[in-house]
Structure 1
Amino acid sequence: MDKVLEAQGPVMKKDRGTFSFNSPFTPVADGQVLPDHPFDPAAPAVSADVPLMIGTNKDEMTLFLYGKMGVLTDGMARMGLGRLAGDAKDQVFEHYRGRMPDASARDVIVTAASDMFRAPSLLAADRKVAQAAAPVYVYLFTWETPVLDGKLKSTHALELPFVFDNADLVPSLTGKDPERFKLSEQMSTAWIAFARTGNPNHPGIPTWPAYTTEQRPTLLFNLTSRVENDPRREERLLWQGILTK
């Protein structure tokens, strides 16, 4: 651990101030400690009988990008998307600009990056379903924090105070509206139920069906949560097409 922490400083110093979507610290499939990617090309046999609950937040990338980007033009956003989509950057930009004709270039790139963040989770869910051995439950966290004038929306890590039922400890992230505790009750109880039984359903949320690749039922967590089949379908198809090329 000491060697890892010692090495972290110079790497972070070198990376500081750059506009990057990629962390320098990621797991590496070395063939020994980590034999291979756990969900590529298929779900792992070792956990075939273990249920999976997986999801992301609607606006994951606001936490990483809003403080790093100045004024952006469409051309700059298109080029920035090259870090996400490589040669598909034009396809991605045109898709989001078409869906968001009045949005700022900043919002276009943040929305695209957030959907890219979600796509691997959905791909993992698909591969777990294909294994046909244990159920998968997929969610999308959509509640938006009021802090910083709402700029963070449903940002990365915002779900954690609700999952652990301690939103009262971080008003700087969740705000102070007591209504937020309704979401804590829904989410923390779902996580407890899933840990205990492998099924996150409980009376405080709508019936949450196991995921299928035909219907793709997804629980949208909010003050009033609901189930929606295949939310943001067009964006899912776009990014999964890019990721599986």
Structure 2
Amino acid sequence: MQKHNLRDTHYYFKVKNFFDPYIKQNAPKHLQHVWFSSPGFAFYGVQRELFVGSYSSLIASLGIALFVLFLTSGNLFIAVYALITITFVIAVSVAIFAALKWELGIVEAIIVIMSVSLSVDFVVHFGVGYIHTDSADIDHERKKIKQHYLSSISTPTEPPDNMEIRIPRKMSTYHLIYKQQQIERETRVTESISRVGSAVFMAAFTTFAARFSMTLSSLTAFRQMGQFLMTIMLTSWVFSMFFFLPLCA
């Protein structure tokens, strides 16, 4: 494997930034599109393309993921919450890869781009479960809140001067609407966890456990793929359970 350092990288960009404008300004018309190359600089050209391509591919993948999430859930807010969750999953996963001393190469670039598609799965399950909660359960909880709240405001209080005080009807109505919306969101989150929570956990656990054997391989590509899948499964499940669902609630 070819070794490189920061000084060599700076030298490469220094030569390139000088050569390209010079050719465009001084070369004949038929030589305007020439480029320089050398065996020593080929590595840095590949690194530059991988770096730029990884960023553009991640942005494109996130845009496609947002579109698919919106089509799946039918709710723009849920799709945006899911996109924020996926972004955090990717950021934490890349930070873990950096802590493992990965260096950007062809395999690593492919792995980073794949992280978007693999991070969508758990969020989609919880999001669809949240949207398609049984309306009868929501109505039941809303009625319970309404009955409890109306009974509480209908009970008069007796201050020391024995004057009866009631909460203003306008304020109580706003409070009731807020409580009903809150209990609806909480009911949706609870139903989503009860419906798909166990399936999502088992999917994450089995994938995590199965890929552990790949980390014992002597081949770098196999070992990195195992580390990648274990990291994505762990971070995706943690953020889906403890970030996405609380965000929806």
Q: For this structure pair, what is the TM-score category when the shorter chain's length is used for normalisation?
A: under 0.3
Q: What is the TM-score when the length of structure 2 is the normalising length?
A: 0.26
Pick the structure with more helix per residue: 2
Pick the structure with more strand per residue: 1
Q: What is the TM-score when the length of structure 1 is the normalising length?
A: 0.26
| Structure with bigger gyration radius | 2
